Structure formats: C-alpha cells, structure tokens
Structure 1
C-alpha cells in the first residue's frame, strides 16, 4: 500500500459524499432529515421488532446520539417506544402512521435520486458503473450472493462464560505475555458474575460475526464481588465495564465499538450515574474505543501483575 493509493481512496470518498449530499446537513433528499436520520428510519421501517440495542449495533452509533435522535423522532410523532417483547429492559421501536409515510417518502426520493444518477449515463457506462459498485462491495463488504458476515450481539448461552475465560487467557498470553495469574483473575470475575448477577443491573454480551463468537464484554455493578447474593435495596450508582475482548480476525470491523456502545447504552438505560473501567496502558486499541465512547482517563499507577511490569489505568464516563 502506498501513500498515493491512500489518497486515491480519500479522494473518492470526498467525491462520493458530495455526490449523494452526505454533507448537506438537514437537507437529505430535500427533507428536514439528515442522512443518518434517514438511515435510521430506513432500518426501523425494514426491520422486524427493532429495538434501540439492535440499531446501536447494526449502525455502530453512539448510544447517547441515538437516544437523542430517537427522542426527536418520538417528539415529531414518527415513532413510539415501549418495552421489547424479547427483553423488558430494551426499548422496542415502532413507526407511527406519520413515521411510515415519512419513511416511504424518503424511500421514493432515494429511488428517484438513484434513477436520475443512472439516467445521465449511456447504457455501456451504466453497466460499467454497476459492475464497479459490485466489485467495491465484494472487496470491502459483501454482495447479495456473498453477503458480508452479520454482526450480532446476544446474551450468553451455556459454555459462553467458559469461552470468555479461555479466550482472554490465550489472547493476553500471546499478545501481551500475561501469565496464568491473569487467567485466574478472569475466572474469578466470570464466576462472580455467574453466581451473583442481577439481570436488572448486570449484563454480558457475546458478539457473533457470521455466527462465530468473536468478542464479549460485561457491564456489572461496581463491587459486585462484595455484594450479597440477594438483590434489591438501594439502586447502585456506578457500573463497571469488564473483560472487553475482540478476536484478532474480527478487529477493525466494528465489533469492539458495538460492544462498548452496548455497555454504555445498558448502563444509561438501567439508571447508573457513571460507568468506570480499569485497564492497562499496553492495551492501546481498547483505549481508542474508550476515548471514542467519551471515557476520560482519571488515574494511572505502575504495578507488577500477570508476570509483567504494567501501568494500570482508571477510566470514567459520567452518564
């Protein structure tokens, strides 16, 4: 890969965003909706039993931004929200009659826009263009005949928690030289979750790409290991993100961002006031994900753990 090749890709991106009006804020397809808002309406109108968590993961949207967008839709009479049939803690999103009409209008104008673009070209050039578009999708994402693997976040099933222990131990040993004491720590965290988790306050997600497990994360009450097994009492104020994991072959495909967004969204919906996490400075890729989600580094401290000299970091996200 050369610098010139990178510039060609960036130049094409600038050209195409101008062509489709992606930069024309608030006037996508001559409507009062942005390109992102139009895409969310499209997903709701074409989905089956769509909920906010589905939209966050499928579109890789920040949980706070999506929440504000859905609130605007609700205030504008486009959608209604209610408890999901699959999980009462989730919000099921349904288009109103006005919302359906708006989505249909956007769909019609989108088809007209694409048709106008194609009409400018003679037949042979249209064929060339469509073949090139197919090639781009095939090389970078997928085609209808060979679709890109679908990213799905789900609740853990029997065997998944043991898989989390095994994959954390194996990957951190291979990539960072951690010894068996790290596996022991992960095993304790997972066992505490299995024994003490309360579905109202604690959640684990398993990420699948094309049906294969490629990642996981936990969101739990801070100090869950010290809490009594019985639930109830004063609602907790602090949640903790734990054991974020993305398999090497799935990195760069939005898995980590989807997992972090799911954790942030759950913590907000559950009513926590802040989300915290502890990590080590060597995990630079994870740091980027945390910063994008709005976490702030609050403290650093050198320590010797897992057979390594490390720098521990505390991160915090006010909710």
Structure 2
C-alpha cells in the first residue's frame, strides 16, 4: 500500500507541473491552440495518419469534443482529411504543410522547456526524472484503460480449438483495426485464411492457441505457431482482446501462457510481427522480454505501414537472425 505522505508528495508535484507547463492557460506551448488541440497535432505527427476514433481513445475525450476540435484544426489549415485506400467509408487525418510547421514549433518549445529544467538537476536526477515520469505516466494510462470494468465473471483461459474460433478471432481483428487503423477486407481475409490454415496444424504439439472465454464467448486470443519459421523459432500470432477486456490483465495472462509454452518446448526464440503505433501492446511485449529487432516500410497489412519485428530469446539462446 502506498504511504499517505508519498501520495501527497506526488499530488503536490503534479499540481506544480500542471501550472508550470501551462495547462492552466487557455493556450499551450506558445501557440494559439488549446492543450487538447496541441496534443492532437502531436499525435497526428507521431502516427503519420490517424482516425478520429483513434484520437478519441488516445486523448480520453468525448467524441463530440474531438469532432469540434478537429473541425477547427481543419478550418485553420493545420489538418487535412485523406480517404482510406482500403475502405472508402473511412478517412484519416494528416498534417498539412502548415500543420508540420506548427508541430515543429511546438517540439522546439517543448524541448527548450525540458532542457532549461534539466540544467537545474544532476545527471543522476535527470535519469531518475525520465524513468519516474515514464513509469508514472504509463501507470496512469493503465488505470484509464482498465476503468471499464468487466462487469461479471473474469474470462477463463482455455487452450485448443473451439467451434467458431476462426470467425470470432477474425471478427475481433477486423473490428478493432478497421475502427482504429482503417484496415479493410484485405486484412480480415488475411487473418481468417491464416487462422484456418493454422487450425489444421493444431495436432502438432509444437503449436498452440489460448482463448479467453467469458460467458461462452471468446473475448481474447493468442497463438504460437511452431511450424512456419523453422530454425527452432516460434511465431506469436493473433494476439487480440475484445474492447471490454483491455486493461484488465487478461492480455498479460494470455501472453504468459503462450510464453510459458515456448519455454516448455525449448524454442530458441519467439518472433512477432506488428507495426508502429500500438503503444500499449508494445509495452506489454517489452515487459514480457521482447525487444524491437527490425523496422521497415511495408504493406503486408494491406496498406503502407512502418512494420516492426519483435524478438524474445530464450534464457539459454542467442540471436540467430537479424
């Protein structure tokens, strides 16, 4: 249990930071924009392209508030809407030339404030601030993501095939990635075809799948494919959670089952492929021992993305490929 005096110290420091960083003002970072608008521009720059639905989730604001703010930024010439190449029903937001200039000014201002503050600290204090602020920020984010309660029995983790598994896992992937990343039918078909092929190989003891099931309904999944990579390496695939389970710890439990299986089977390494921008998933992968081993521009997901490969080596293993 956190000591009361420590809680009070953190609250005092948080209030001071809010004031000193300018969040009490109507505008932020030497711009004419509100804090939420500044954060929006920074998120669009970070992702390259982003949907309104993604921004609602990232910023933790009401959909109507985000819609009004985006309309103002588009009217101001900071943002532009771009039609999705996968599905004409969806549009992404991108920075205009003016928006890129605005973000550059915001970043220069933010970096200047950090440098000035850090000059008052020793090197050890600087490192402690960086680590502590990151850990505290991620802890706050976890609280927000877990605020939606599961509302009943905790999902049960079961292994092996269940009827309807292929369709349900494909549905969860299609629903999440179409809403947040504009993925279309190409992605859904790719997931369904891969799962159908993999299900026919579940009799191999080096392959496994784990499902989170609540009230008879699949709400999460992860699989280990021990066949497709060779070189005594496992492929972690189809890690997904239904919206109601995110932030509940179910995802970590699924990953723990899959990793324990890999250790039991004595795979030299576990590989997974994903893309940039899935911040919560990346933190979970890294907490389980995965490290980013490769990045490149690709389109295996149906649209150009900054693709990533993460690797987890066994305790006795060593890097076996680039």
TM-score, normalization: structure 2? Answer: 0.49
TM-score, normalization: structure 1? Answer: 0.49
